[in-house]
Structure 1
Amino acid sequence: MGLHHVILIFHLLAAAIWVGGHLLLSVCYLPAALKKKDPHIILDFEKKFETLGMSSLVVLIITGIWMAYDFGVTFETWFSFSGGFEKVISIKLILLFLTFFCAVCAQFYIIPNLNETNIKKIAAIILSVTAIGITMLILGSTLRYGGI
């Protein structure tokens, strides 16, 4: 087993935590919070998941960039969309930036003012980040066959 394979294993474990956590939040906790109009259900989950979730996101970023370089997709070729690998990695980077944008909006604008009347705003962020994570997972799976 080579170093690239070990890095891939860490990447997949981190993806399982990141995407799995957001799926759990979206499917199990969010519907209850919306039904009861209780933002504390979401906030309690976030409080428990934040350390593990953010750690997994850091691992995803580090291992993702590492593997991109292993595939020959260096900083200079990001967003070139010139080949299958470049397309996938470029799209995943754009989705990462969207995830970051959602996180900033949530942390600085939505969560500080979260209450029963604006709970749908955090729901939109949660569903967006979950959809982005699933999309990134699917895109990553195409790299085995040369990308898209």
Structure 2
Amino acid sequence: MTLHHIVLIFHLIAATIWVGGHLLLSICYLPTALKKKEPQIILNFEKKFENLGISSLAVLILTGTWMAYDFGVTFKTWFSFSGGFEKVVSIKLLLLLLTFIFAICAQLYFIPKLNQNNIKNMAFVILSVTAIGVAMLVLGSTLRYGGI
């Protein structure tokens, strides 16, 4: 087993936690919170998942960067979109930036003021971050075949 393969395994475990947690929130908890107009359901999940989720995101960033360099996609070629690997890495970096924007908005604007009247705004953020996570997972799977 190569070092790259070990890094990939850690990346996949972290992706399982990150994407799986958001899918769980989106599919199991969010519909109930919206139906009952009970934001505490979302807040309770966020409180329990936050440390594990943020830790897995940090692992994803570290291992993703490591593997990008292994594939020859260095900082200088980020956003060059010149080949299959560069396209995937660049798109994933843009999606990561979008995830950060959603996270900042959630932490600064939506979560502190979350109530029955604005729960749909938080639902939009949750569903968006979940969709981004799934998209990044699908993009990553294309690297086995040379990217897109």
Q: TM-score if structure 2 supplies the norm length?
A: 1.00
Root mean square deviation, CA, Å:
0.3
Give the residue type in structure 2 aligned to 1:138.
Answer: V
Aligned to 1:137: 137
Runs of 4+ in 1 over 4 A off after TM superposition: none
Aligned counterparts of 1:109 and 1:16: Cα–Cα separation in 2: 27
Unaligned runs of 5+ in 1: none
CA distance in 1, matches of 2:65, 2:146: 17
Structure 2: distance between partners of 1:23 and 1:41: 15
Question: Which residue does the alignment assign to 2:81?
Answer: 81
Q: Hey, what does 2:32 align to over in structure 1?
A: 32
* CA distance in structure 2 between the partners assigned to 1:50 and 1:97 by the alignment: 18
Aligned equivalents of 2:146, 2:35: Cα separation in 1? 44
Classify the secondary structure of the residue corresponding to 1:15: helix
Q: How far off is 1:24 after superposition?
A: 0.1
Q: Which amino acid aligns with 1:13?
A: I
Measure, in 2, the Cα distance between the counterparts of 1:138 and 1:146: 13
- Which amino acid counterpart does residue 123 of structure 1 have in structure 2? A
Structure 1 length-normalised TM: 1.00
Cα distance in structure 2, aligned partners of 1:109 and 1:46: 15
Per-residue deviation at 1:19?
Answer: 0.2
Match of 2:62 in 1: 62
